[in-house]
Structure 1
Amino acid sequence: MSCVDVQTQFNIITQEAVNTIIRNYGYHNKENANYYVQKASDKMLGFLADYWKLKVHLPSNNGTNKVLCFFIKAVSQNASKADMVREMKLFDKEINFYTIIKKKIELEGVKPWSPKLVSTLKEAIVFEDLNALGYNSRNKFKTFDEAHAKQALQMLARFHASSIIYEQKNKKTLKEEFAVYLDKGGYHDSNVWFLQCMQGALAAVKKFSKYIEVEQLISIIERRWKYIWNSALDLSNVLPESCSVVCHRDLWNNNILFHYKQTDGGLVPDDCVMVDFQAVRCQPPAGDVMLLLYCNLDPKFREHNEDNFLRFYYKQLELILADRSIKIDIILSLESFLKSAENQRLWALIVSACLVPQFWLDDDLTADIFCDAEQFNDILSNNKASFIIKMIESNTNYREKVMQIFEEIVDRYCLV
């Protein structure tokens, strides 16, 4: 099922735009090359944008063509999605991240943690095509194993180290430098989307959780629910006298892409990058780390390996900083980081409770539901509880996945 009118979307990519993209990519005097645009995938790669692939054929002197591959992220033709993106200025935020923040903090000699921005068009952003470079997202129904988790944590360490090194080098805080570009986005106590996520999760707890037979417990959960969710939002602020970095804050499966190498044991991940920087904000680095673990690991696997993964991330961060003659203990001790990770657990749980019910769906069903403007608007802005309840009633795997998250919120924070 197509989410957009193909002919309408083709109008974004004109010959003039292609000429600009080619020049920005380093190929001059190659104007009016042949090009081809197609949908990036039959699957729904994200919730608020449309995605396209651009291939440009450059003739060479020996008569063969060189093919340049690009990935295009465009404001959706779905009216409800487009309204939300424009209202929250999400494209502006991502463009500012790439053209201002990333440009200042990225480090020479450190492997990339994101794709290269090539060009910005009217309501569209053009990147290098990661798929053409061998990067792919993992099947969202396959949680990360140890190898994938460690590659992702290494990538986060590279990303977060960039912020720390920038502050140390320039003797100014990220908050001072970039505050105007780093708002709370959808994670605000008056944001309709966040309120719908909170109310939908509570409705599921009251109808399907292990506590429904005890009226007194449900009453306690109801009284504390809003306070717990809003407390998570406070954790997304820059905390006094704490180490804060530019955090991604949207680390679900489709935003993390892996590169693989062939070994005797088969394909193994050897690199990782992330995409979609519309939710970035300054926050303690443990916020990203815990969100990565909560969104992408099986709960039992996460619990068993959590301390190991936290220490692994910290060691990777330490090595990168040491390479720049920065002692991590001065910035963030291991004890402080582990304590911060425990504090940021609530943030990770609440964000997972917002994200997982939206993406833990079959791709065809996701397209059917979220490509329809009326349904999208109803689910995201009016009645997410009905959507979650309907999905729980019709899909056992969905029920198990989302209720694990909702019940952990209750167990850790409501009934203590």
Structure 2
Amino acid sequence: MNDRENLCLLHSKDLLDQKRLFLLFKRLAGQHSVSIAKNIHETIKEFNSATFTEDQKLFEDLYKIAATIENKVIDVDVLKQGVNKLLDNRKTIPQPKPEDLCVNDSVFQNKILSKENNQKTAPVPAVYDMLSLLYLTTNEKQRQQHFHDLTKYYYRQLKDHLKQLSIELDEILPLPVYEKKIKDFIPNAKLEVILHYLNQDAKEDTFTSELIQELYLYVLYPKINIEDCFKIAKEVVGIDYNFLSYELVEANGLLGALGQYYKLKLTINKAGDDVVLNLFAKFMIDFPKDAFPGGEDAFPKVGDAFPKDEPPTLSLQEEFVYTIFVPELKNIGLGNICDFLPRCYFMRSSDVMVFEDLTYSDYEAVNSEEPYSYEMLLLVVKKLAKMHACSLLYEEITSKGSGETTKINVQFSKYVMGFSQAVDTKFKDTIHYCNVNTTVNYVYNQFPDVAKEITMEEFRERSRDIFDSMLDKMKTSGKYRNVICHGDIWGGNILFKFEGTRPVDCSLVDYQMIRYCPPAQDLMAFLYINTDKNTRTNYLSKLINDYYTEMSTIFKRYSFDLSTVYPYEVFMDSCEYMKSYAVCQAAAYYPSSLDRKKVQDLLGSIEKTVRFFAVDKTEVLKVLMKHDWIRSRFREIVEDLYDLCLQK
């Protein structure tokens, strides 16, 4: 099959087999590389933003087909609205960026549409051209099996071809950006291919009806597409299945400053039976940066700390945990102690992560009105011990194997630096001082009788010093051994499983705030954020010992001695050192953690959420403080802060 045969219009009856399909995209990458190399130093002034036909009859045909597709219920009015939105967006596409990598010799536009329109089209992004050809030469079953393999294969081939032309694709189109562009271009490419089919009078063609159904699903659920769902289903059940449909519904009652949460339901047929796969999707928030004091300048800037293909993002740390760290742990035999977190089935950098939905396995986030019981606390303490043991054992095992000292913060420095260690700390300081001001001003004013030996002003001044010292304790320690800490270990990130009323397991979720710090940072913060004073009085010392005992047991399982790696006396000293950090963290978390449902109802929008976390919590606290149990918990933490101030 020559180039001309490869890069021509293929009728639906002439489906390519897998080998010929991959050969087609290898040839396409080669052709695109030549065009990209020619354009690389030029600014594309005209973007192909109006290639859609204006023939209204084709759109009428589209909607007629949609209304009559067998066994599928499509709301044609909803589909029309979605298509019109795509058309409107298409007309207002901004000037192309360098990473769009426009090609002049578009296979789809110039070799196919030009035959229909008898005109040469403007440059188009290579990714868009690739997708258009993909939808033109495959049916849904083939895309279910090969979409992600084909798009990755095209990227690798394009990278190899450009390298021969002394161009590094990673520098001009990093893989995460490429994957995001695929998501962005998919609906337009599908619509354009649908219109092409209709122009070819392929109204009865299964290709056409399949793409219309897929386009309708996109209109319903634009945050995720069917191609994503193909990959997710493959990760869950393997390749032997037929995809039927999917549904994305917002998960109510979940509070998160760094994500939006959804329930994702996939319906497939496997071995003749319809099966529903229930999943949990977290989408990264596109923060309105002007809502922060300082606007754009308030966000972290880490300069050259990150390579061009891995810019810092709000999801970088969690992506590292799932795609790099946990696989590394499994590679060295630590897979049996990686059960502290849920499974992740899909990820698109800076956009979405899809996990198993633990609520369908009877896991739940517990209401904070009742402090955790000792049994619940013990479950979490043991999971933290597993998580932290993974870091210490990883360093010990890899150091022993290589003969050189391994430190996670050296090997994976760009992933574990965290907000607390960003080069530019304005973002961190914005949130930090919002917490401090809320506590020492509004909260302290609710309990004026706490300060006795010193004045309220002295109490406030000393408290500010203690809060500021907390920032240093969020950094990698030069005195104590460090581990990958969760960094955000409050009730909303802990799911429990019960048998009757007895807690039997827990899972730790949300790893966007990890950092490389002493394990006592997580342990002490957890024990203060999620308990009341009575529980701490009765069980704090015991739970600290339970943690060390559990970690010691894990070390013995792998033939290591914890007492030589992290001596008990050193560990206990680190817990005492982290006590003030834990008290400050509890004070900072209480406004959002004590009544999550109420706070969620009061916020309700990204703008209000940003204001709550980075500007002022007072209005929300005025509502929360009407509840006696919440006032009681705040009073207890104010008393703990006061005790710390008296020790200064």
- Work out the CA distance in 2 between the residues paired with 1:410 and 1:26: 55
Give 2:346's aligned amino acid.
Answer: S
CA-CA distance at 1:30 after TM superposition: 3.1
Structure 1 residue aligned with 2:261 = 51
- Work out the CA distance in 2 between the residues paired with 1:212 and 1:113: 39
Structure 2 residue aligned with 1:256 = 494
Quickly say closer, same or farther: Cα 1:82–1:15, change in 2 above 3 A.
farther
Structure 1 residue aligned with 2:68 = none
Quickly say closer, same or farther: Cα 1:22–1:257, change in 2 above 3 A.
same
- Work out the CA distance in 2 between the residues paired with 1:179 and 1:103: 17
CA-CA distance at 1:218 after TM superposition: 1.5
How do residues 60-75 of structure 1 correspond to structure 2 at under 5 angstroms?
Answer: 60-61=270-271, 63-75=272-284
Structure 1 residue aligned with 2:408 = 174
How do residues 12-411 of structure 1 correspond to structure 2 at under 5 angstroms?
Answer: 12-30=223-241, 32-40=243-251, 42-61=252-271, 63-76=272-285, 79=288, 87=299, 89-105=313-329, 107-110=334-337, 112-121=339-348, 123-171=351-399, 172-185=406-419, 191-211=429-449, 216-261=454-499, 266-361=500-595, 363=597, 365-385=598-618, 387-388=620-621, 390-391=622-623, 394-411=626-643
Question: Which TM-score applies when normalising by structure 2?
Answer: 0.58
**234-243 or 275-284, which moves further after superposition?**
234-243
- Work out the CA distance in 2 between the residues paired with 1:19 and 1:100: 23
The DSSP-based 3-state class of the residue aligned with 2:477 is coil
Give 1:121's aligned amino acid.
Answer: R
Quickly say closer, same or farther: Cα 1:391–1:410, change in 2 above 3 A.
farther
- Work out the CA distance in 1 between the residues paired with 2:628 and 2:220: 37
Question: Which TM-score applies when normalising by structure 1?
Answer: 0.88
CA-CA distance at 1:342 after TM superposition: 1.0
Cα displacement string for residues 375-410 of structure 1 (whole angstroms, at most 9, x for unaligned residues): 33333232234543x236533332222232133112
Which structure shows the bigger proportion of residues in strand conformation? 1
CA-CA distance at 1:124 after TM superposition: 1.0
**99-108 or 183-192, which moves further after superposition?**
183-192
- Name structure 2 gaps, 5 residues minimum: 1-216, 301-312, 400-405
- Work out the CA distance in 1 between the residues paired with 2:320 and 2:456: 44
Give 2:553's aligned amino acid.
Answer: L
The DSSP-based 3-state class of the residue aligned with 2:578 is helix
Cα displacement string for residues 104-163 of structure 1 (whole angstroms, at most 9, x for unaligned residues): 235222360001111113611111111122322212222110110111111111111100
1:11 maps onto 2:215 in alignment: no
- Work out the CA distance in 1 between the residues paired with 2:241 and 2:644: 60
Quickly say closer, same or farther: Cα 1:233–1:202, change in 2 above 3 A.
same
The DSSP-based 3-state class of the residue aligned with 1:12 is coil
- Work out the CA distance in 1 between the residues paired with 2:361 and 2:550: 25
- Work out the CA distance in 1 between the residues paired with 2:319 and 2:538: 39
CA-CA distance at 1:9 after TM superposition: 8.1
- Name structure 1 gaps, 5 residues minimum: 1-5
**106-115 or 330-339, which moves further after superposition?**
106-115
Check the 8 A contact 1:203/1:385 in 2, yes or no.
no
CA-CA distance at 1:316 after TM superposition: 0.3
- Work out the CA distance in 2 between the residues paired with 1:309 and 1:30: 47
- Work out the CA distance in 1 between the residues paired with 2:270 and 2:235: 19
Equivalent pairs counted in the alignment come to 403
Give 2:274's aligned amino acid.
Answer: N
- Work out the CA distance in 2 between the residues paired with 1:102 and 1:359: 28
- Work out the CA distance in 2 between the residues paired with 1:140 and 1:8: 38
- Work out the CA distance in 2 between the residues paired with 1:81 and 1:160: 37
* Pairwise CA RMSD: 2.9
